[in-house]
Structure formats: C-alpha cells, structure tokens
Amino acid sequence: MIENRPLLRIMSHLIMVAGVVLVAFPLWITFVAASHSEQRMTELPLPLLPGGHFFENLDIALNQGLWGGDGTGVGFMLFNSLIMALMISIGKIVISLLSAFAIVYFRFPFRMGFFWMIFVTLMLPVEVRILPTFEVVANLGMLNNYWGLSIPLIASATATFMFRQVFLTIPDELLEAARIDGAGPLRFFKDILLPMSQTNIAALFVIMFIFGWNQYLWPLLVTTDQDMFTIVMQIGKLLEGGEEAPQWHITMMTTLLAVIPPVIVVIFMQRLFVQGLTETEK
Amino acid sequence: MASVTLENLQKTYPNGFKAIHGVDVDIQDGEFLVLVGPSGCGKSTLLRMIAGLETVTEGKLSIGGKMVNDLEPSQRDIAMVFQNYALYPHMTVYNNMAYGLKIMGLSKQEIDERVKNAAKILELTEEQLTRKPRQLSGGQRQRVAMGRAIVRKPSVFLFDEPLSNLDAKLRVQMRIEIKRLQESLGITSVYVTHDQVEAMTLGHRLMVLNGGNVEQLGTPIELYERPASLFVAGFIGSPAMNMISTKMSSDGKSIEIASDISLALENGGAADYAGKKVILGVRPEHLELSQTDNSLPFTVTLVEHLGADTLIHGHFGEDMTDLTVRVSGTHTVKAGDQLPVTITRDHIHLFDPATEKRISL
C-alpha cells in the first residue's frame, strides 16, 4: 500500500519505537549492570549508563564464578548448553524429516494411525510426563550426560507436522519426474526433498535451538554433577546465595552471556528463517 | 527406437472405478500417436500406465517387444514431459537435464556432451543452462522439460498435455517444434491432449477416448472424413459439426431434412434404416450459401468474423434447428438476414440415434 499520510507515519513509528523500547530496555539494564562494580550495584539509584568494569566482570563470570562460591566460572556451562541445544535441534530435525517423509510418501498399514500417535504427543510436553520420563532416563543410565539432557526433548510432533505440510506442498509430478529419472526413495529424499525444504529446516533450527537453549526444568532434574550444568539453570542458582547479598554484576554478566548465542543464531539465520515461515511457492 | 504394444490394457482403481476399459493398439516404431478426448476420459491415465506411474490392472503392455507391466518407470526406456514441466526448482537448467544421466552412472564427459547437444537442438544458450527454472519463461521451461527427455535417448517419448500452460501464440510455435523434433529424432511418441487442433496437427494417428473406451483410432484425415461415432464427429473439427435430426425416406434412398426438402443419398442409401430416424451430420465448412431446389431457408442470428473465415450462426425450419455455416473470406451478412443454405450429399455423415454409431452408405 502506497500512502503518504504524515500523521499515520508518525504514529506507526511511535508504536514501533515503543515496542523496541519495551523489548530492549531490560537487555540494556542487564548490560549496564554487568559493567559496574559489585559495590555500585548495591547503591541506589540503579545506574542507567554503562560503567568501566565490563571486562573485569567478564573474566570473573567466565573463570572464577561468584565470590565465596566454588571458584568455577560458567565457561564450560556455555559449552554444555551449546551441545544440548545443538543435539536437540539437529536431532529433532533429522527425526522429524524422516518421519514426515515416511508418512507422506509411503503407503504402509496404520499410516494415519502412526501420524496421529505422533500428533498426540503435542499434548504431552516434557513438563506433563516429567516423572515417568525421569524414571526412564535414570534407568537407562543417562543421568548427568548429554544424552539424558537432550533425547527426551527430541521427540517432537510440531516438527514432524511442519515437515509433513511442507512435503504435501511439493507437487507429485516432481516425484514422478524423479522416478522416471531413476531416483530411488532415499535419493529423492536427499536430492529433491532436502534442498527444497532448506528454508523450513533453517526456520525450525532457529526455533528449536532457542527452545533447547532455554531449557530450565529438565536440566535441573537430570544433572547433579556440576560438570553437566547448563548456563540457564546456573543463572537461577546464582541468586540462591544464602546469607550473602546477591552479586548482581556477575549474575547479570552470566545472563548476558546466556543471551548471546540465541541472538547470534537468529541474526545469522534471519533471512532463511523469514523465508521458511512465509514462503509458499515451490 | 521401439514399438509400443497395448493388449487389452485395463485399469481399475482400488475404489472400484474403472478408468480404462481395455485398450488395444500397436504403436509403430517412430510413430506419433495422440491420445485425445475430453477431461476425465482416461487419456492421462493411459499415458501414465505406459510410463509406469500407474499400475496395469489387466492386459499386457510391451515396449520394444518386451513386456514391461511390472518394471519401474526408469527401466522402461521412456522419457516423459509433464504438463507443469516438473522441473526441479532448486537445480540449474543444466543439472535438471543431467540429473537422470548422473543416476544412470554416465561419465561427466558423456553427460556434458549430451546436455550441450540437447541444448543446441532446443536453442537454449549456455547462459540459460546456468539459470534456475524460475528465472525462465514458460516456453523456455517447456524446452528444458523436453531437453530432460531428449538427453535420456529413450525409445519412447511420453507427453502429458505439454502445451496447455502456454499462451496461444507460443503454443502454436512449440507445437511445430515438437513435430519437427519428433520427425528428426524419429522416436516413438505418445502425446496426450484435449486440444483437437494439437491432436490433428501432431499425430500420425489419433486415438479418441471417451469414458475409458476407444471411440476411434485412425489418421487425422480418417477421423475428420469418416468419424465412427457421434462423439468423434462432435469432438473433431471446430466449430463442431452440425447435427440435424432427420428421417430416412420409406425407400431408404433419401433423407427428409425438412417438411418438403429431401436429399438423395449416395450408393442407393441404407435400406436397413428405411423410415427410421437418423442423425445427419454436416460440417460448417461443407454447407454452401446458394439457391437450389433443395436449399433451406436459413435465418441468421449471429455472425463471427474471423478474418480469413466468417462463421454464420442461425436456424432453419419450424423446429428452429440450429446451424453454423463457415464461409471463407469476409461477408456482410448480419443478424436477421434470410439466406438459402444448401446441403450437398458429398460431405454428409449419418448416425444411428440409438447406438450413436456411423451408418455406412
């Protein structure tokens, strides 16, 4: 729509600015708090401009941890979170691509039955089935390792459902052309379906990476060994200081560190992400 | 190069719908056969059965003398051009053509040679080979789809309404190119269309299908001059043949077109139909605007000027039987005019109203 109405433009800009401020202000506060000394953070009013202790705090958060804590930083937890998020997102994409492929392109007994069984799991997120899932994971000896952290979160109906819809939009003639060209099912999957769902895979990767990265409850349950802690659960622990006053500058620095990887993923995959969610032409 | 033989080929879908009721045809090596009929007549199903995309319920299908009923499409030595081209959207034009060859396991050099050669035949430039299908126009995509078929060097080409997505002008151009290509390569081809002009111009032989049955199989001229049934008569030719309900005279030697106008038949008529009702078919181009003893009083209701020809629509007689006349050149006739129209016995067709079959004289 091409219109030239100054008032309308000012209004829409105001609304957008308000939206940006609403989202960005807490992030700004986090950044400011992470750049001041411990002492400054205990005084009122709270600072609104960055201070000069950013790199000092960064070093403490990454390598030393809280003052009076156990002396370990959060660097390895960032790594744990990264591994968990990658395993969840890649695992989900691989499994749901294959199951959607089976459901859309093969005729086998109880095909729709299987589809609905997968679909029903949408109603059973981890929080609902947390006790039995914990039992299973514990019995399989997967506590305190990456498998235990990621596998229960991989089973996903959303992704399977999404890829099913994507595959349904791919014209049958392409399958027929591939059959005449002599491509078998796996070859068709690899050469035609995968490249054609590229943008959807990217979109799903972004969503699933953030979903995996932000997991709190599940890692809290299955990890007791500090070596396996994830960054998000650590943020919660930082505030359980007991007698001590909360050390806001380190907590905020840790939070800032936890925010960065998802932001990087979104920035680098934004173009594919938007295409994946909006593109319909095949 | 190969012949294709269909023996009592039948198709019944799992839900019980019978799409093809037994088709027999022997397609010669190098022949161009066109399957033509209205939508839903089973022509695409038949083509897809030859391609191996639909299973054969009953009957025998052989390509090059070898029974192929249970072979995969890729093993039948065929290539197919689809209605919507079915090009792989993420591959370049070059890779679209090369994909099947790669799977065949040909050497890079051989693939390159074949693709370049096909591109030359189809007048695709080097630059176009590096583009994606969506960056090409409809006609160019059509060429790529044909290129993909050519590079396989198949025994049989299958075309599934390949021109129906193109605009009218391009369609005529591509029609000529397909014809020329098929003649120069000499590859047996089966072509599906619902467009009777395409069918008439392309095919060595035409197979008219209706409701899964073969109505007639023959050369375009045979179909035009001696349609075997009312259906074929109405389907082939544009504008469609005029159908007039008439009665055979009591001696079977002439037909009564209107109350006092009768037309003597060739070869002494058809005595079997004496006194019975018959349907008289006469093409618009075979009606003459002339005053004779037998001419009909024709009232014009609509005139269409096509430039080279003029179509005059109108009716005659008490029951206002509709009639279309095609005369060459431009005419100054207008609606409401009365004209004499003469039916000559040279170009008439008679059909039995009950069986809808041709009555041979």
For residues A113 and A136, give the distance between their C-alpha atoms in angstroms, rounded to a whole number.
25
Q: Please give the mean pLDDT across all residues of chain B.
A: 89
Listed by start position, the domains of chain A span: 76-222
What integer pLDDT is reported at residue A241 of this predicted model? 61
Residues A43-82 pLDDT 10s: 777 777 777 778 877 877 777 766 555 667 777 888 888 9
Q: Which domains are assigned to chain B?
A: 4-234 (3.40.50.300), 241-351 (2.40.50.140)
Compute the nearest-CA separation of A168 from chain B (Å): 15
Higher pLDDT, A281 or A135: A135
pLDDT(A281) > 60: no
Chain-chain contact of B80 with A177 (C-beta, under 8 angstroms): yes
Compute the nearest-CA separation of B26 from chain A (Å): 23
CA dihedral sign, ordered B211, B212, B213, B219 = positive
What integer pLDDT is reported at residue A243 of this predicted model? 64
Are residues A272 and A202 in contact, defined by beta-carbon separation less than 8 angstroms? Answer: yes
Minimal-distance CA residue of chain A relative to B157: A180
Q: What does CATH list as the number for A76-222?
A: 1.10.3720.10
pLDDT(A282) > 50: no
Over its C-alpha atoms, chain B yields an Rg (Å, rounded) of 25
The structure tokens listed for B16 are 């019980």
Q: Give the pLDDT band (50/70/90) at residue B94.
A: very high
What integer pLDDT is reported at residue A101 of this predicted model? 93
User: How are beta strands B156-160 and B188-193 bridged, if at all?
Assistant: parallel
Residues B318-357 pLDDT 10s: 788 889 999 988 888 888 888 888 888 888 899 998 888 9
Chain-chain contact of B86 with A282 (C-beta, under 8 angstroms): no
Candidates B72, B88, B104; nearest CB to A192: B88
The structure tokens listed for B20 are 């093809």
Higher pLDDT, B99 or A60: B99
Are residues B152 and B110 in contact, defined by beta-carbon separation less than 8 angstroms? Answer: no
The structure tokens listed for B280 are 């008289």
Chain-chain contact of A183 with B99 (C-beta, under 8 angstroms): yes
* B79 interaction partners in chain A (CB closer than 8 Å): 180
Chain-chain contact of A182 with B74 (C-beta, under 8 angstroms): yes
Non-local CB neighbours of B100 within 8 Å, separated by 6+ positions: A180, A181, A182, B74, B148, B151, B152
pLDDT(A14) > 90: yes
The structure tokens listed for A59 are 């070093």
* B84 interaction partners in chain A (CB closer than 8 Å): 171, 173
Minimal-distance CA residue of chain B relative to A197: B90
Residues A235-254 pLDDT 10s: 877 777 666 667 777 788 88
Residue A25: Cβ within 10 Å count: 11
Q: Please give the mean pLDDT across all residues of chain A.
A: 83
Q: What is the mean pLDDT of residues B102-108?
A: 90
Residues B59-83 pLDDT 10s: 999 998 889 988 888 888 899 999 8
pLDDT(A18) > 60: yes
* B90 interaction partners in chain A (CB closer than 8 Å): 192, 195-196, 198
Please report the residues numbered 138 through 167 in chain B whose beta carbons come closer than 8 angstroms to any beta carbon of chain A.
Answer: 148
Higher pLDDT, B111 or A268: B111
Residues A99-133 pLDDT 10s: 999 999 988 888 888 888 888 888 887 788 888 88
Residues B273-314 pLDDT 10s: 888 889 999 999 998 888 887 788 889 999 999 888 999 999
Chain-chain contact of B90 with A195 (C-beta, under 8 angstroms): yes
User: How are beta strands B348-351 and B18-27 bridged, if at all?
Assistant: unpaired
For residues B290 and B287, give the distance between their C-alpha atoms in angstroms, rounded to a whole number.
9
Residues B194-233 pLDDT 10s: 888 889 999 999 999 998 899 999 999 999 999 999 999 9
Look-up: residue for tokens 């202790």? A53
Chain-chain contact of A171 with B51 (C-beta, under 8 angstroms): no
Residue A120 burial class via C-beta count within 10 angstroms: exposed 0-12, middle 13-18, buried 19 and up: exposed
pLDDT(A280) > 70: no
Minimal-distance CA residue of chain B relative to A171: B86
What integer pLDDT is reported at residue A277 of this predicted model? 67
Compute the nearest-CA separation of B95 from chain A (Å): 11
